[in-house]
Structure 1
Amino acid sequence: MPSAQQAREWVADGGLHGIGDSLYTPFSGPDGDDIDYDAYRALVRYCVGDLGHPMLWLTSGLAEWWALTLDERKKLLEVAVEEARAVAPSTVIQACTIANSAKETVELTRHAQQAGADICFLQTPPMEVHGGEGLLRFFHYIADRTDIALGLFNSPSSGYVLTPADIGQIAAEIPAVCALKQGTMHYGESAAIHRAAPELFIWECDSIAYRAGMLQQGIVGAAQLGTAGYLFETPEKRMYTEYWTLIWEGKIVEALAYGKESGLDALYAEKGSWYTRFPGRPGYFTHWSEAYRYVATIMGMPMGDYPHGRPPQAVLPEAAKTQLRRAYENAGLVKQPAEV
């Protein structure tokens, strides 16, 4: 686990690399009030063992962090660290530790540090936020009370999007901050962020950035920090790993051809936007966790007995399930037979 002082050296030496799986939370019991930790353990083992993915991304949007108690978030982290390190000791543990107050964020970050996480990512604060000075005070508050590598998670779901100037100022004043998950899906901003904070390892969530050669230009890094990579391949059909390995090796033309030939491009197109869009709130970016869990179920992954997200997320409609199943059947990734 790198300390705050070691954070940027750790990243420069390849601390963040490869595919990092953002894990869902397997809910169980009435209204999903419980968590199936056995299913969660099995999911961890599947990602780092069967698939061989080198990183995990924990208790973030896909896990519905805002619907979890602090105790649940701590236990999910502890379970993931225990299981992952037992199967693959070198697994990089990324923990999302943002909360609804700065004090709770410190509590979760300290816990992650003590539990063996490698880096904590702080999503842009979702509460009322004063940009500029207020943001800087927030990140200083966390960094001054912890001793672990920190990353920024620039997500539009927070309600405030960090500007390149915001990111540059935070990086300049807080050495523990060494990485950025750029989740706005506007890949053109990565170049501006890189100019403002060249010391940061940037993962651009918009894959166009990688197809455009931004990795080879030194703007973004060779990793997928927090994807649901386990939903785009199986141990028998490693098309997600193959595609991104070609990208990281600089074989962009070959990667584009592989994306088409393997069916990965078709899967992205056919699945639609159910993972990140709720029709009842146009233009809003979300992590519709039931959609991820539904696909995980039809792919044969472990799941609790409550299929939905915790409120205030809506229930996934049948139209979404139909479209998702068809897309994944066409990709040859479905293991669970359709209901008769």
Structure 2
Amino acid sequence: MFRGVFTALITPFRNGEVDVEALENLVELQIRNGVSGLVPCGTTGETPTLSEEEDRLVISTVVRAADGRVPVIAGTGSNSTASAVKYTKMAEEVGADASLQVAPYYNKPTQEGLYRHFAAVAESTELSIILYNIPGRTGVAISPETMARLAEIPNVAGVKDSTLSMSVVSDIRRLCGEEFVILSGDDPMTLPVISLGGAGVISVVSNIAPGAVSEMVDAALSGDFARARELHYELLPLFRALFIETNPIPVKTAASLLGLCSDEMRLPLMPMTGDNLQKLREVLERSADLLPTPEEV
């Protein structure tokens, strides 16, 4: 189930509300272009600004639009264990296939606290659990040793790794075994992670270039690293441009420029302006052959 490209979906808004029609169209575009799965309500989906009702709406919309064609990994993590359990049960109720569980942020638990947090969530659900290790945002890292303990829980299936450390990825593979899924959490790190035994990527860039990112990952997973490297370097300007400001500002702006949705965001995030917007436009123009055609949109 967890192999290939899983798009960390943006959440389209219009006039302050979730734009359900645009979200449905995004799901269809992703599936038509070969992604392996969808991840609603992650960081890229502006989850911190969504209400509980909106979380349910977004996850249920993606599940309904996907219609069983690809798995849906719902972001249901929290820095409160009780809230993470509550949201995970909600995602299970509306038909998600798995849950993405971020390390509790701001309160900086110990490794034992992290273990007990994730264990409690896993024990509350039948869903598969993908851990999300992104210390740059959360302020705390899940150690490979803690992951090895968590990997012994039957429904803890793997990790989205955003540490930018191949040493950490190597230790995860060494300690957690071959069955434990490792997904890159950063588009530029996808090929190195796959080379160390990773299974793919939870991608931001695939929001606007699903076909190209899928082709790159498929090539790498099939052992054709020459083709995968070629595509990596073709995609590299997009990888960089979509992070010139805080994610998801650039990718949502890019999606708007391509006609996929509006560029409406919720404070404290703001749409791009000025020099960065011009740089993004220029990269999109130069990368046109990697992007959906107007007919596809």
TM-score normalised to structure 1 length = 0.78
209, 218, 235: which one pairs with 1:264?
235
Task: Tell me how far apart the structure 2 counterparts of residues 216 and 126 of structure 1 sit (CA, whole Å).
Answer: 30
Pairing of 1:236-315 with structure 2 (within 5 A): 238-260=211-233, 263-269=234-240, 271=241, 273-274=243-244, 277-278=245-246, 287=247, 289-301=248-260, 303-304=261-262, 307-315=263-271
Q: Write 1 or 2 for the structure with the bigger share of helix.
A: 2
Pairing of 1:60-139 with structure 2 (within 5 A): 60-85=42-67, 89-139=68-118
Task: Tell me how far apart the structure 1 counterparts of residues 23 and 74 of structure 2 sit (CA, whole Å).
Answer: 15
Match of 2:19 in 1: 36
Match of 1:22 in 2: 8
Shift in Å at residue 225 of structure 1?
A: 3.1
Q: Which moved more, 1:153-162 or 1:76-85?
A: 153-162
Task: Tell me how far apart the structure 2 counterparts of residues 17 and 195 of structure 1 sit (CA, whole Å).
Answer: 19
263, 282, 285: which one pairs with 1:326?
282
Task: Tell me how far apart the structure 2 counterparts of residues 141 and 78 of structure 1 sit (CA, whole Å).
Answer: 24
Q: Which has the higher contact order (CA 8 A, sep 6+)?
A: 1
Task: Tell me how far apart the structure 2 counterparts of residues 206 and 43 of structure 1 sit (CA, whole Å).
Answer: 21
Shift in Å at residue 207 of structure 1?
A: 5.8
Does residue 182 of structure 2 align to residue 202 of structure 1? yes
**SS, match of residue 326 in structure 1:** helix
Shift in Å at residue 124 of structure 1?
A: 0.7
Question: Is contact 1:328-1:334 (8 Å) kept?
Answer: no
Question: Is contact 1:290-1:308 (8 Å) kept?
Answer: no
Shift in Å at residue 272 of structure 1?
A: 6.4
- Name structure 2 gaps, 5 residues minimum: none
Shift in Å at residue 68 of structure 1?
A: 0.6
Task: Tell me how far apart the structure 2 counterparts of residues 52 and 84 of structure 1 sit (CA, whole Å).
Answer: 12
Shift in Å at residue 259 of structure 1?
A: 4.0
Larger radius of gyration: 1
- Name structure 1 gaps, 5 residues minimum: 1-14, 279-286
What CA RMSD, in Å, does the superposition of the two structures yield over aligned residues?
2.3
TM-score normalised to structure 2 length = 0.88
Question: Is contact 1:187-1:204 (8 Å) kept?
Answer: no
Paired-residue identity, %: 22
Deviation track 1:240-272 (CA, whole Å, cap 9, x = no partner) reads: 332222111111123223444xx3234435x26
Task: Tell me how far apart the structure 2 counterparts of residues 209 and 228 of structure 1 sit (CA, whole Å).
Answer: 12
Shift in Å at residue 226 of structure 1?
A: 4.0
Match of 1:11 in 2: none
